[in-house]
């Protein structure tokens, strides 16, 4: 039986809803890939008692507990203290760790023009750990810790996602983690990604293809306006998983856009590279979200030349060359203006592929003829162009995000259909 893990995410701002948790999903996916079952994710505030209880329950009922957050220098960073209490261990000061954190803190003090004395107490606090805990490394000033309690392994990671993800590979190299991984059975996962169809349609097609059972576990998840299907076969059920996946893919036709975990932006960039093409964006209602998705991929600079956010009509005219007559006759939110934006950014930035978006994201600005949620997309390549109209219900954020995903998939289909 594969090891089971509990994930504990700390932070009162997460409980209040002021911020969204990014660490829990990252850790759950990472553990699943390693063959460790992420049995639960618990989000708790900064109260010592709440953190201690969540850790204690995790240690009692799971093989691994991974905790994020609460490792900073302030009074409300209580994770280390909670871990010590939950595991029945005293706290000790680590001189070597202190020296490492102090070096980083002195550099920060100098950069900020502040005296190091303001940081000294925090440094000592962050260099304190439960007896037996191993300090793995630093990405900021908060260390990752690994503690083998005898019955379970606890891992503590910093709250900032960048730091957590940087230290995670080092955690996996520790002997305590290797002992857990030695008992894991990495899932031989099959992945199918769909766009442009509702989740219910995929569910029906999946049932017709054979569905779950006979050693194959299947999950269907609507994520970022796509439908993600994962098939996880137990040993001996691989052939059935392949058969179900192939039948599902065949029945869904063009709605299937990938059989890997590559994101749509990665697929767009790879397709452009295959043709030796460059790309630019012209955005209005999405305010640069399409360009942000594309440039979030490392190495995207060999494809993405840039983008123009043309929110005002004057910018559409001046920067993209949209004729004033087009704006006056058809309006800013129209297929004619969107096409002019796409051709304009393609010419102005001297690229091969361009995509443009205009729309009414709301909550105001809609009319009976052009209601909130109306979005026009237009993409151009050296071999053709295509326009799409969206009528998207929802709030402002939903409309903008849905338009962003639609624009990426429009470019994907136009570039990959060649």
Residue 314 sits in the same domain as residue 292: yes
Q: What is the CATH number of the domain that holds 9?
A: 3.40.980.10
Counting the structural domains of the chain, the total is 3
User: What mean pLDDT value characterizes the chain?
Assistant: 95
The reply to whether 306 and 411 lie within a common domain is: yes
pLDDT of amino acid 302: 97
Range 23-39 average pLDDT: 93
258, 279, 312 - which closes a domain: 258
Res. 187: pLDDT tops 80: no
The string of DSSP codes covering 286-314 is TTTHHHHHHHTSTTGGGTEEEEEE--SHH
On whether both 332 and 216 belong to a single domain, the answer is: no
33 and 167 part of one domain:
yes
pLDDT of 33 reads 87
Same domain, 150 and 248: no
176 plus 206 within the same structural domain: no
Whether 277 and 217 map to the same domain: the answer is no
Within this chain, do residues 224 and 369 fall inside the same structural domain, yes or no? no
Q: Find the helix or strand (DSSP H, E) in which 227 lies.
A: strand 226-233
Last residue of a domain, one of 139, 163, 181: 181
Number of H helices, E strands in the chain: 16, 17
Q: Which of 258, 288, 305 is the last residue of a domain?
A: 258
Average pLDDT score over residue span 369-388? 97
Residues 277 and 410 occupy one common structural domain: yes
Spatial distance between the Cα atoms of 400 and 418, rounded to a whole number of angstroms: 28
| Structure confidence at residue 2 (pLDDT) | 83
Confidence label for 418 from pLDDT (cuts 50, 70 and 90):
low
Residue 289 sits in the same domain as residue 156: no
Q: φ and ψ at 146, to 5 degrees? A: -130, 130
Asked whether residue 189 carries a pLDDT value surpassing 90, the answer given is no
Same domain, 254 and 268: no
Alpha carbon distances (Å) from 395 to 63, 212, 333, 411? 42, 35, 18, 25
134-162 tens-digit pLDDT: 999 999 999 999 999 999 999 999 999 99
Q: What is the pLDDT of residues 214-245, one digit of tens each?
A: 999 899 999 889 999 999 898 899 999 999 99
Q: What is the pLDDT of residues 42-72, one digit of tens each?
A: 999 999 999 999 999 999 999 999 999 999 9
Q: How far apart are CA 416 and CA 412, in angstroms?
A: 6
Question: Which domain does 328 fall in, by range?
Answer: 264-416
Same domain assignment for residues 306 and 395? yes
């Amino acid at each position: 039986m594969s090891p089971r893990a509990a994930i504990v995410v700390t932070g009162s701002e997460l409980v209040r809803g002021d911020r969204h948790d990014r660490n829990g999903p990252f850790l759950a996916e990472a553990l699943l890939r390693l063959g460790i079952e992420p049995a639960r994710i618990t989000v708790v505030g900064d109260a010592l008692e709440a953190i201690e209880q969540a850790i204690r329950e995790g240690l009692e009922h799971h093989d691994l507990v991974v905790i994020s957050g609460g490792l900073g220098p302030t009074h409300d960073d209580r994770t280390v203290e909670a871990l010590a209490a939950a595991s029945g261990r005293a706290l000790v000061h680590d001189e070597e760790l202190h020296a490492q954190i102090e070096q980083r803190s002195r550099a920060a003090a100098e950069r900020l023009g502040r005296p190091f004395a303001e940081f000294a107490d925090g440094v000592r606090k962050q260099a304190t750990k439960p007896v037996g805990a191993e300090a793995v490394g630093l990405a900021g000033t908060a260390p990752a810790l690994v503690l083998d309690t005898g019955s379970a392994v606890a891992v503590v990671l910093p709250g900032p996602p960048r730091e957590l993800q940087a230290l995670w590979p080092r955690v996996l190299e520790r002997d305590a983690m290797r002992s857990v991984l030695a008992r894991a059975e990495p899932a031989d996962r099959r992945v199918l990604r769909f766009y442009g169809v509702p989740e219910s349609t995929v569910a029906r097609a999946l049932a017709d293809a054979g569905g779950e059972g006979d050693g194959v576990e299947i999950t269907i998840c609507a994520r970022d306006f796509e439908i993600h299907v994962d098939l996880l076969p137990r040993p001996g059920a691989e052939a059935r998983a392949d058969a179900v996946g192939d039948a599902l893919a065949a029945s869904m036709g063009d709605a299937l856009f990938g059989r890997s975990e590559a994101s749509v932006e990665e697929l767009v960039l790879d397709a452009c590279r295959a043709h030796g093409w460059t790309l630019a964006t012209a955005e209005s209602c999405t305010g640069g979200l399409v360009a942000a998705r594309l440039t979030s991929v490392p190495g995207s600079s060999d494809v993405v030349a840039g983008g123009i956010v043309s929110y005002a009509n004057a910018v559409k005219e001046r920067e993209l060359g949209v004729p004033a007559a087009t704006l006056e006759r058809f309006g800013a939110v129209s297929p004619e203006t969107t096409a002019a934006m796409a051709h304009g950014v393609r010419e102005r930035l001297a690229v091969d592929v361009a995509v443009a978006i205009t729309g009414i994201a709301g909550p105001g600005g809609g009319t009976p003829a052009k209601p909130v949620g109306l979005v026009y997309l237009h993409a151009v390549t050296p071999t053709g162009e295509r326009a799409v109209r969206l009528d998207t219900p929802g709030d402002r954020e939903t409309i903008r995000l849905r338009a962003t995903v639609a624009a990426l998939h429009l470019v994907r289909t136009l570039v990959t259909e060649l």
